[in-house]
Amino acid sequence: MSEQPDAAAAVDRVAGLLRARGDRMTGPRRAVITALAARRTHLTADQVVSAVAEQDASVHRASVYRTLETLSALGVVQHVHVGHGTTTYHLAGDHPHLHAQCSACGAVLDLPGSLLDSVSARLLAEHGFELDPSHVALSGLCADCRGRR
Amino acid sequence: MSEQPDAAAAVDRVAGLLRARGDRMTGPRRAVITALAARRTHLTADQVVSAVAEQDASVHRASVYRTLETLSALGVVQHVHVGHGTTTYHLAGDHPHLHAQCSACGAVLDLPGSLLDSVSARLLAEHGFELDPSHVALSGLCADCRGRR
DNA sequence: GTGTTTGCAAATGTTTTGCAGTGTC
DNA sequence: GACACTGCAAAACATTTGCAAACAC
């Protein structure tokens, strides 16, 4: 397991950010950061709750929600909306990439962050709209499900 | 008000589709189709409930949900996911277009359906993924909110 | 010690479901 | 007259909030 050092570093880094704002590093916050740092996949709120429970069963559901919100405001955590209203969370600072979800099987495909660059430029020039390509997952049919019809 | 003829035509068309499957055209279904045909904007489930209630207050919430699902399965109704889990519904067959939502103010921008054509082609060629550009709204900052920082 | 954060429990809001009665074909 | 569909009420989810106790600083 080589996730401990990463997680510890992330906790320290966030602790500094929190204190700079007059906020505090606490057990639940440590647990959420560690849980997110330990997995590569993005996690739903419920999956974060479970992952946190493995470390410390006394952390309450509501605290996980509040922590995710706090860390989002700090810019430490980002979320992606995939498909039917599921929100998934991950630590910011990972290599930027975007997602496409299969509307049939739910599989999520990771895509290069640059995929929408030309679209971004066009949206900005023509509509003044600044695209955030990683905030919502694209939708469509994956190769498997497409073959299956 | 020039929406009546469109709505009536839509109801008739859908009635045929329903009967072809052994299903039935009913009051609630008529009301949902009429409500969707009458507005140009996409409606949330709750807005459909309200719009339907204006026509026929006896139609129950749950029937609206069930109807939207039935009509989606028929291909008559499509839905778009915008931002934080809101789902909006509209009649299929309208000129195809896609959406971008401002993550700050929630405003929704309509965009040409062709905007993602080159991205679609690339996804298909490189990943076998068939993009459905209209199913999920893009996300970012609109011109107003961008100017506001 | 002060003020933030937490656990708890209850409230909220949305969508789903079981069932008996109603209405369409 | 069958069987699909509806209204109703309750359940199922996911997330939020008020509050007093607990903890970080």
- Among the partner-chain residues A116, A133, A141, the one whose CB lies closest to the CB of B130 is A141
Nearest CA to A130 out of A119, A145, A115 is that of: A119
Q: Give A83-125 pLDDT, tens digit per residue.
A: 777 899 999 976 788 999 988 888 888 899 999 999 999 999 9
Residues 6+ apart with CB under 8 A from A120: A130, A131, A133
- In this prediction, residue B51 carries a pLDDT of 97
0.75 exceeded by pTM: yes
Cα-based angle A14, A17, A20 (whole degrees, multiple of 5): 150
User: Any idea which of A30-39, A98-107, B29-38 has the lowest mean pLDDT?
Assistant: A98-107
Q: Give B107-128 pLDDT, tens digit per residue.
A: 888 899 999 999 999 999 999 9
Nearest CA to A99 out of B104, B117, B131, B78 is that of: B131
Q: Give B78-93 pLDDT, tens digit per residue.
A: 999 987 778 999 999 7
Contact at CB, B115 and A115, closer than 8 angstroms: no
Statement: residue A67 has pLDDT above 60: yes
Kindly indicate the confidence band of residue B10, based on its pLDDT and cuts at 50, 70 and 90: very high
What would the mean pLDDT of A15-32 be, rounded to a whole number? 97
Comparison of pLDDT for B62 and A102, the residue scoring more: B62
Contact at CB, B136 and A139, closer than 8 angstroms: yes
Interatomic separation, CA of residue B110 and C1' of nucleotide D16, rounded (Å): 32
d(Cα B66, Cα B90) in Å, to the nearest integer?
Answer: 15
- Among the partner-chain residues A119, A122, A136, the one whose CB lies closest to the CB of B139 is A136
For residue B59, give the DSSP letter.
S
- In this prediction, residue A8 carries a pLDDT of 92
Residue A73: CA count within 13 A, CB half-sphere: 8
Cα-based angle A37, A38, A41 (whole degrees, multiple of 5): 85
Residues 6+ apart with CB under 8 A from A43: A35, A36, A51, A88, A89, A90
For residue A2, give the DSSP letter.
-
Statement: residue B71 has pLDDT above 50: yes
- In this prediction, residue B96 carries a pLDDT of 81
For residue B135, CA distances in Å to A143, B53, B61 come to: 18, 27, 24
Q: Is B114 an 8 Å CB contact of chain A?
A: no
Q: What is chain A's percent helix, strand, coil content, to nearest 5? A: 50, 20, 30
Tokens found for residue B68:
């939207």
Kindly indicate the confidence band of residue A5, based on its pLDDT and cuts at 50, 70 and 90: low
